[in-house]
Amino acid sequence: MDDSADRREVLRRMLTIREFDSTAGDHFADGEIPGFVHLYIGEEAVAVGACAAIEDDDYITSTHRGHGHCIAKGLDPDRMMAELFGKTDGYCNGKGGSMHIADVDANMLGANGIVGAGPPLATGAALTNDLQDDDRIALSFLGDGAVAQGQVHEAINLASTWDLPAVFLVENNQYGEGTSIHDQHNVETLSETAEAYDIPGFTVDGMDVTAVYEAVEAARERAIEGEGPTFIEAETYRYRGHFEGDPQEYRTAEELDQWKARDPIEAFRERLADTDDLSESEFDSMQSDVEQTIEDAVAFAEDSDYPDPEAAYEDVFDVRPPEISRFADRTATDGGKQR
Amino acid sequence: MSTQPDAGPDPSDTETMTVREAIRAALREELDRDGDVYLMGEDVAEYGGVLGVTEGLFEEFGGERVRDTPISEAGIVGAGVGSAATGARPVVELMFSDFMGVAMEQISNQMAKMRYMFGGKIEMPLTIRTTEGGGQGAASQHSGTPHTWIAHFPGLKAVTPGTPRAAKGLLKSAIRSDDPVFFFENKMIYEQDGEVPTDPNYTEPIGEARVEREGEDVTVAATQRLVGESLDVAEDLEGTASVEVIDLRSLYPLDTDTLADSLSKTGRMVVADESPLSYGVHAEVSARMVEDEFFSLDAPIQRVGVADTHIPFSPPLEEEVVPDAADVRAAVERVV
């Protein structure tokens, strides 16, 4: 975020996330996107600020709510949308969907259906970096709910014991599914838990993209210097339910309005108007570009084919074992039931 | 390009070693061969492994590549998964397989599913070594044989060597594999010795059983400790019954063809595996034989295993439930 072009790109990525996810919500409601989706709207400053502070070949791990991390890491909305639609041109050829979207080529190690599973993977990626003397880090996004899961403790303890180049970034959106964080944790701030590992821990305003950027930039620097991991808590809020269709009876409309008054995109847009001469017309034009990009992504997803049903039997292993061929040939087990 | 064909490894050049030594030799050779290979686990470095398997490797390869970890099974297995997914080739030791439960989330939801969920766009070259088996008075939480959990779970390979040769060759294949492989070591056979090929390029393929002794009357399909015990039974019964003994070696994939060929010859089968009898290795082998060789069967398939109990502490109780040569012999005698 050193120059004005970088800052404009940060704004564009936040807008792209919001547009992508609100469009995904619409197509989920229409029934075009199967399963369920967890939307990132409201939290855009965390993913974008963090990914702006790391290098392209740094690794990230993600959460249930992973679309924002993908876009922030530079993934292509076309292939993302195709994945959500379960189509063959998706990043995972339709096998992963919203909750397991990944792009290994971009060192994005996947959204995850298990809330605390990302940190051990990030510790492992950081260990590879350390062993291979790569000048890169692993950044793990996790939710406030994940902090209560045991494997997160094991992962941070291991990373701090070995001074691995990792950053643990907690997106505290105030609710673990439908339960307030105050009913899930007994600490004032989640970043206090960093003391247990003797690593730096601090809480930043997750609605402020610059604050997130600066925190992750410092944490990355420390990781690269071999000083070990950092624990960052970014306080944020999701505007939508835990999942689309969540009745959200656990929170009030007033609370939502209070957070929306601190909207991360609006705040950053105002800042750029002051510091970088971002005009209203330029913003409008950026917004319509983004809308076009997402409209194109939907068209791409709709045009893409569903995978051949036979593809269900591939990718369990490097090479298909005889068992899968044996059982996939239904004449062998059930007298030839037709699909 | 050379026109000289590669002579390939020579399996006839062998050395007598124990299972423990064979495993250590495989680890040493693979650490030496590939800089991306490293070991981590509880007490595997300076201590040399709680059962002595990794002794000397820390001194030889250093603390970066032979790493002591905290007692964090979920953390170290998860780190192994993340590390394998990013270009390294970790070998993780879980001191006792009973501890797999602590790490099961990372095993079942990450390690096993990642390649599939990502549409085949990732490799998972991860080996998990762990110990199994009763017979040491180690009681219920250090004596289990849960390998069927892994063999049952799509995306994981499970191997269970019964000889030093299989131990070395299969571990080398596991480490070289781009899929996650669980390598189950029965701790009662660490001192069992046998001939092992010394060529560092020699490996045993995962997914192939091995006929350890040929016979005509009955097939004993065995794993781990029960391979050796079944060979003893076969020898004792020589003159009375001709017993063919097969080391399954690999539970998943399972070598159905070798088993079916043997059954078509003998018409009788005993499946001997030290795991609980319900829903396990015995059931899978039996089902495949019924599917493929039903008309070769001259007698009901016999199962030797643990009668769906845990492994108790008190010696007479442990001896009661852990299957041995006498159980294999009784099963053979029921059908021949």
Contacts of B315 (CB under 8 A, 6+ apart): B137
Is residue B8 in some structural domain? no
In a domain, B4, yes or no: no
| Alpha carbon distance B315, B313 (integer Å) | 6
pLDDT digits over A200-222, tens only? 999 999 999 999 999 999 999 99
Active site residues of B: 73, 142
Bridge partners (DSSP) listed for residue A171: A143, A234
Residue A175 burial (C-beta neighbours within 10 Å; 0-12, 13-18, 19+) = buried
B220 and B87 in a single domain? The answer is no
The per-residue DSSP string of B131-163 comes to EE--SSS--TTSS---HHHHHHSTT-EEE---S
Supply the DSSP symbol for B312: -
Q: Which of B36, B70, B84 sits opposite A158 (nearest CB)?
A: B70
Q: Which of residues 203 through 242 in chain B touch A, CB cutoff 8 A?
A: 207
Instruction: Show the domain range for B127.
Output: 15-197
Note whether B180 and B305 are same-domain residues.
no
The total domain count for chain B is: 2
- Whether B328 is covered by a domain: the verdict is yes
Same domain for B156 and B273?
no
Per the domain annotation, does B203 fall within a domain?
A: no
CB pairs under 8 A between A and B: 162
Verify that B148 and B216 share a domain, yes or no: no
B217 and B326 in a common domain: yes
User: CA nearest A154 in B: which residue?
Assistant: B75
Per residue in B71-105, is it b (16+ CB within 10 Å) or e — as a string? Answer: ebbbbbbbbbbbbbbbebbbbbbbbbbbbbebbeb
For residue A240, the one-letter residue type is R
Instruction: Report DSSP letters for A260-279, one per residue.
Output: HTT-HHHHHHHHHHHHS---
List of chain A residues whose C-beta atoms are within 8 Å of the C-beta of residue B70: 154, 157-158, 161
Contact A120 B291 (CB under 8 A): no
B82 and B110 in a single domain? The answer is: yes
- Mark whether B163 and B290 lie in a shared domain: no
Q: Does the residue B1 lie in any domain?
A: no
Rg (CA), chain A: 21
Taking a contact as any Cβ pair under 8 Å apart, which residues of chain B between 244 and 273 contact chain A?
252-254, 256
B40 inside domain: yes
pLDDT per residue of chain B (336 residues) written in tens, 0 to 9:
344 445 567 778 999 999 999 999 999 999 999 999 999 999 999 999 999 999 999 999 999 999 999 999 999 999 999 999 999 999 999 999 999 999 999 999 999 999 999 999 999 999 999 999 999 999 999 999 999 999 999 999 999 999 999 999 999 999 999 999 999 999 999 999 999 999 999 999 999 999 999 999 999 999 999 999 999 999 999 999 999 999 999 999 999 999 999 999 999 999 999 999 999 999 999 999 999 999 999 999 999 999 999 999 999 999 999 999 999 999 999 999
- B118: which chain A residues are within 8 Å (Cβ-Cβ)? 91-92, 95-96, 100, 102, 104, 110, 315
Q: Are residues B84 and B114 in the same domain?
A: yes
Residues B261 and B318 in one domain: yes
Domains in chain A and their CATH numbers?
4-307 (3.40.50.970), 310-339 (no CATH)
B182 and B236 inside one domain: no
Classify residue B235: in a domain, yes or no: yes
Q: Which of B150, B173, B197 is the C-terminal boundary of a domain?
A: B197
Of the three residues B165, B197, B229, the one that is the final residue of a domain is B197
**Where among B137, B163, B197 does a domain terminate?**
B197
Give the CATH number for residue B186.
Answer: 3.40.50.970
Q: Which candidate, A177, A295, A246, places its Cα nearest to that of A36?
A: A246
Tell which of A92, A197, A317 to mutate to test the B interface (max B CBs under 10 Å). A317
Signed CA dihedral, A116, A66, A68, A19: sign only: negative
Q: What local confidence, expressed as pLDDT, does residue B11 receive?
A: 77
Q: What is the ipTM of this complex?
A: 0.95
B233 and B183 assigned to the same domain: no
- CATH number of residue B214's parent domain: 3.40.50.920
B 65-84 → A contacts, CB under 8 A: 65, 69-70, 72, 74-84
Mark whether B186 and B225 lie in a shared domain. no
Nearest-Cα distance to chain A for B236, in Å, is 36
Inside any domain, residue B2: no
* pTM, full prediction: 0.96
Question: Bridge partners of A60?
Answer: A108, A139
Partners of B279 in beta bridges: none
- Which residues, at least 6 apart from B227, have a Cβ–Cβ distance to it below 8 Å? B162, B163, B212, B245, B247
Query: Could you report the per-residue pLDDT of A219-234, keeping only the tens digit for each?
Result: 999 999 999 999 999 9
